[in-house]
Structure formats: structure tokens, C-alpha cells
Amino acid sequence: MNIEIQRELFLQSFAIAGSVVPSRTTKPVLENVRIEAAPGRVVMFAVNNEIGMRLEAEGVEVKTAGVALLPVSRVLPLLRESSDEKLGIEVNQDHILITGRQTKVKLQARDPEEFPPVADFTETSFFTIKSSIFRRMLHRTAFATDNESSRFALGGVLLEYGDDQLTAVATDGRRLARMQGGAEIKGQLQLEAMTIVPTAAVSLLEKCLPDDDSPVEVAPRSNDILVRNGRTVVYSRLVEGRFPRWRDAFPGHRPEALRVQLPVEATMSAIRLATVVADTESRGLDFEFAQGTLKLNLACANIGESHIEIPVAYEGAEIAITLDYRFFTDFLRVLDSSSTFTMEIESPEKAALCSTDDGYGYVIMPLSRDRR
């Protein structure tokens, strides 16, 4: 195999494929990315025990077709540190030779036939959804997962379909993130089991899916899932186990609840100011709504206390709730800083609901006053 690469473009693809490679494995061949070079096309393959991917590389000229394994721990830092605009990668049975104007590196080659097969997308029944929407759904829910739970399968994002919408849900038992997006079913898709996509696969999808309207095809099966966008395919095993009845925790219509629209950037800034007196143990932040004002109060016995006010469009009765500020800032971080969201509170003892106009909802369980 002999190819010439535009280093920066090739690096982008190789870094994504390399993120699949396990940090520790009993199968050293998995520490490589398989490269298949054909006229006009180079495809990268990476796999671990749970996830696999096929990714078409950009910025490559194929001089001689062939197949090779590139060790990620050696090639990735070389691509990052080299200052050459273009590099040649030539591989024979024994060696990998990487050369440029200022670079010459020779590595031991490994037999590409040792590399395990990576699943391809051959399904005829699947969901289809815009890439930007699906990517946003994953990004806005994955942070609420819990990989340590032993009772429920919380170490991933649940995908459900109904009424021409795909719903993504994640929870750790103390907060719950849910987002919906328009989707269609192609073929005769049968939903027989819970589709819980592990966080590692979600992270990979966030990296490789473009922020555009190109279609993403999602094919959940009984034990795994396949996702395709263009010429990129991601395969993942599903999280085994039972997801909790999340709808029971998601507030329904609450006519008596306080609802106020808040700016993301100003709210985040106010929380950062209020938490300058916080330590690792103090996590409860008081949200107090009064006429035209939101007051954020936090007290830490060994450090001090803070009282921050921001103006809000609220004219109702005074109401307060104590929330874990870390959970609240997790929510704000996945929103556009220039946007707004709606906060809904019914009482200090019931869950707060934060929502946006594009189908995103985030539930936070309150803290009692003595757990601040």
C-alpha cells in the first residue's frame, strides 16, 4: 500500500477512528486502525470489544492500493507533531514507512489479516433523522448517564420511537434529560427490546456526525445497533438490563407551577458567582423567585456565603427551591449561551423542570435544606 496524505485532514479522521482503540486489551491487534486503500477511496476500520466503526478518510491520494494496520499509539502523535503539510505512507509486509520533507519514521508492520471484521450497515429497516438533530439529542442527554448503577441500566442513552419522533433519555436517578426530534421509519422496523446506547458509543457518534441536515440511519437490533451517515458506519453493543420507567419521573401538566424564562449566559454567570464560596461538600444552591428577581444563595460553614441577584420577568408569589448547582450547570453547558430556557417549579419538594423550545427537557430532583 502506498498513499499520500494531507496531514491535517487525515489526522481528523484518524483521531476519530483512534478513539475507538482500547487503552488496555489482551488483543494487541486491536491497538491498530486498519486502512483499506482502493482507487479514489481510503477507509479506516477500528474496533474494540463493544464498538466498531468504518470511516472514510479525507485528504488522501492512493498511489498503490492495499491494506495495512497503523498502530495508533505511534502514528497519532506523529501526525499531530509533524509540521509537514503532506506525508507519504508506504507499507509492505515488514515495515511502515512514513515520510515527509522533514519526517522519516519506520515502524514494524503487522499482518492486516489478524484484524477482526467490523460490522457494515446492511439493514433495510431503520429510523432516519437529520444528523444535526440526532447529534444534539445525544449531546444534551449523555451527561446525565450513570455507569456505576447496579439496579438499572443507566450507563447509556435510551432511544425510543413513537408518533414520528425519536426520543433520547438519560438519567442517573437524581436528574433526567430527555430530548425529542422528528424521525421516520423506513422498512418494517420491529422494536422488541430496549435500545440503550452505551456512553462510549454516544461519545463516538458526537465526534463523527456532522452538524448538518444530512440523514442518519439508525438500525437498533436485539443486542446491538448500527448507525450510518454517508460513508461512516458505527456499530455498538447495547447496554444490557432494564431502564427505569422514566415517564413516571417526568412532570406532566402542572397548571399551578411557576414558569419563568431565563437567559442561559446570565444564569450561568450568576451561578458561577454564587458558587465561589462552595467546597466539595456544599452543592445545594437556593433559587428564590420574587417580584422581578431571581436570588441565588449559597452558604458554606468553613468559607462564607453568597447572595447573587438577576432580574427576571416574574410577578408571582415568592417561591424557593434548593438544587444541586453542578446538575444545573451541566444543563446550561449543552445550550447555546445566547439562548433562553424555561424553568418550572411547583414546590420546594417536587422536581424542577427546565425546558427549551426545541423539544429538550431536563428534570432535577430538589435537595432538602439540610443537605446544602
Do residues 85 and 6 lie in contact, with contact meaning Cβ atoms separated by under 8 Å? yes
Grid cell locating 167: 426520543
Average pLDDT of the segment spanning 212-238: 96
**2-114 matches 126-247 in fold:** yes
Average pLDDT of the segment spanning 213-229: 96
- Per residue in 23-41, pLDDT (tens digit) is 888 899 999 999 999 999 9
Question: At the top level of CATH, which class does the domain 126-247 belong to?
Answer: alpha beta
Residue 134 has what DSSP assignment?
H
Could you give the count of Cα atoms lying within 13 Å of 20 in the half-sphere of its Cβ? 33
Q: Cα angle at 152 between 151 and 156, to 5 degrees?
A: 140
Question: Structural domain boundaries of the chain?
Answer: 2-114, 126-247, 251-371
Average pLDDT of the segment spanning 72-100: 97
Grid cell locating 313: 420577568
d(CA 109, CA 117): 19
Contacting residues for 283 by C-beta, under 8 A, at least 6 apart: 324, 325, 326, 367, 372
pLDDT for 163 equals: 81
pLDDT for 282 equals: 83
Options 3.40.50.720, 3.40.50.300, 1.10.1740.10, 3.10.150.10; CATH for 2-114 is 3.10.150.10
- Per residue in 170-215, pLDDT (tens digit) is 999 999 999 999 999 999 887 656 899 999 999 999 999 999 999 9
Fold of 251-371: DNA Polymerase III; Chain A, domain 2 (3.10.150)
- Per residue in 343-368, pLDDT (tens digit) is 999 999 999 999 999 999 999 999 98
Look-up of cell digits 451541566: 330
At residue 372, does pLDDT exceed 60? no
d(CA 364, CA 200): 24
Average pLDDT of the segment spanning 1-22: 97
pLDDT for 60 equals: 97
Amino acid identity of residue 89, one-letter, is I
**Considering the chain, what is the average pLDDT of its residues?**
94
Residue 369 pLDDT grade (very low, low, confident, very high; cuts 50, 70, 90): low
**Is pLDDT larger for residue 164 or for residue 268?**
268
The rounded percent of the chain whose pLDDT value lies above 90 is 87
Average pLDDT of the segment spanning 269-280: 94
Look at residue 67 and give its three-state secondary structure: strand
d(CA 148, CA 67): 40
Average pLDDT of the segment spanning 306-312: 96
